[in-house]
Copies of this chain bind each other. A is one copy, B any other.
Amino acid sequence: MTSHRLPIRVYFEDTDAGGVVYHASYLRFAERARTEALRDAGAPHAQLQATHGMIFVVRRIKMDYLRPAILDSLLVVQTESLAIGGASITLRQRFWDGAELLAQMEVVLVCIHQASLRPARIPPRWRAILTPATPGAAEGE
């Protein structure tokens, strides 16, 4: 997967009484971006479920909050693959306001059989999409 970018507008629902975007809202934004990254690559998660009975679930998140985002901002969520294993992938997702990096996340997703909840080998089509473009470069950045 090459870098995917999704613009996201900040609404009142995303903010809190501190006047900025609530810290948990970034996880919602990140999931929208992952969903659209797969859809744009022609392999939406609904198809993974319909064809293989599999889904991706979140296994681990590391999130760094650098600068606050405010109401009405038009953020961009940038999604890149860092690594892929048999049943898991590691993505980096960065949250930009123009050229300013607001937050950065690493998320590990595991592919599981929905019936058994057991880890499942990522099918070839999704594997092709989710393999890092230039693994060394991405991780070493």
Q: Which residues of A contact B (CB under 8 A)?
A: 9, 11-13, 15-20, 22-25, 27-28, 31-32, 35-36, 44, 46, 55, 57-65, 70-72
Number of copies: 4
Q: A31-B11, A46-B72, A60-B64 are in contact. Are A16 and B16 (CB under 8 A)?
A: yes
A57 to B19, CA, bound (A): 12
A20 to B60, CA, bound (A): 16
Sorted from nearest, which 3 A-B pairs have the closest CB atoms? A15-B17, A24-B27, A13-B28
Q: Which residues of B contact A16 (CB under 8 A)?
A: 12-13, 15-17
- Please tell me which one of the listed residues B9, B24, B27, B64 contacts residue A59 in the complex, with CB atoms under 8 A apart: B64
Q: A60-B63, A61-B63 are in contact. Are A18 and B12 (CB under 8 A)?
A: yes
Say how far A74's CB is from chain B's closest CB, in angstroms. 11
Q: Which residues of B contact A46 (CB under 8 A)?
A: 71-72
